[in-house]
Amino acid sequence: MVVTYKIRIFVIMAQYKTYKVAGHLFRVEMDVESPIWERMEEAYGPFEVSEQKEDMLFSLNISDEDTDGNAWSQEMQPVYSNKGTVEPGFIELSVYKSPEGHCFEFTQPQSDTINGRLFVTRDLKQARMALYGSPIQRWLTFNTGVNFCFLLATSCNRTVLAHASCVTYGGKAYLFLGKSGTGKSTHSRMWLNALEGVVLMNDDHPVIRISDDGTAVAYGSPWSGKTRCYKNMQAPVGGIIRISRALHNKARRLSPIQSYASLMTSFSGMTWVKELADGRDRTIQDIISSVPCWVMECLPDHDAARVCCEAVTNV
């Protein structure tokens, strides 16, 4: 009699999950024990999919320490740094390039404490990131890292990550642009309070993607700033409105060049890399050729929402 012993050894160390944002699939891989998985649940959970495809937009591999130190030491050339210009509470960024790809180092202002390092291959499809510091710092840096990977990998795929607050109304999405502190979120809130049927889609980084038929469609994302609004929803873009503080409420339609200037400043990207700049340029022109853009000179009041809504929905 033959007895067969079947021995199964489970060595589970890393796990990955797949997410779909604006129709783009990406994968995050890290230690199954990492506390980041739990923190991801709220913001990324709504975007998790079981769908598996070989061709991901990008794959990001996270390690809690720099196990692959070579990625940073090889012929690194400094490209950009905002050190010394960042206010406390924000993360400083330094960008380097190597023959293999792009390296990003995240540091705390006024100190040389490194919070994380992100390496992205030249084709923008493979990324790995090392995280340092306290659990909350690791989480914040991780979140920024995924955001960067998405921004870079979508640049040439008719997609932009907009710095905007976005609401839906009457089946269309309206995006409010403006520098931090101008009142994008406040204006969204005025729409929510003053008008019927308004839904907040995302309060910091909605995505705009040009669909195959040329329509600009807005999508929710896992990146919503201080507001916990991580809706997996989409709507064709009805208007893009730059918020400008004033002592009156008045909406003004922008010319194509003015529209381009308005969108350009709110769609960040690594434009010093020509292919990425070309990608952003194409997406902006696709958007402005079909979506009306405006500047809304306004007060932070309910009347501002009514005046704005009336102008942008009656095109």
Partner 1 sequence: MKIIEGFRLRDVMGQATVIGEGVDQVNFNKLITLNSSAAYLWEQVEGKEFDVNMLADLLVDRYGIDRETAEKDAAAVAGQWQETGLAK
- Interface with partner 1 (CB under 8 A), residue from 29, 264, 301, 306: 264
256 contacts partner 1 (rule: CB under 8 A)? yes
Q: Which of 91, 28, 17, 113 is nearest to 62 (CA)?
A: 28
260 contacts partner 1 (rule: CB under 8 A)? yes
277 contacts partner 1 (rule: CB under 8 A)? yes
- Interface with partner 1 (CB under 8 A), residue from 64, 100, 281, 301: 281
Q: Which of 186, 188, 158, 190 is nearest to 175 (CA)?
A: 188
**Residue 167 vs 208, nearer CB to partner 1:** 208
Beta carbons within 8 Å of 203's beta carbon, 6+ residues apart: 165, 166, 184, 185, 188, 224, 225, 226, 227, 229
Half-sphere exposure in the Cβ direction for 110 (13 Å, CA) = 5
Q: Which stretch binds partner 1 (CB under 8 A): 7-15, 21-29, 37-45, 255-263?
A: 255-263
Smallest distance, Å, CB 142 to partner 1? 24
Q: Say how many residues make up the chain.
A: 315
Q: Which stretch binds partner 1 (CB under 8 A): 41-49, 167-175, 257-265, 294-302?
A: 257-265
For the segment 286-315, give every residue that binds partner 1 (CB under 8 A): 288-289
**Residue 203 vs 286, nearer CB to partner 1:** 286
Strands, E assignment, 11-163: 14-21, 24-31, 48-49, 58-63, 77-81, 92-98, 101-107, 114-121, 126-131, 159-161
- Interface with partner 1 (CB under 8 A), residue from 271, 292, 306, 313: 271
Contact between 140 and 92 (Cβ < 8 Å): no
80 contacts partner 1 (rule: CB under 8 A)? yes
- Here the tokens at position 105 are 């180092």
Smallest distance, Å, CB 80 to partner 1? 5
Give the DSSP letter of residue 5.
Answer: P
Residues that bind partner 1 (CB under 8 A): 79-80, 256-257, 260-261, 264-265, 271-272, 274, 277, 281, 285, 288-289
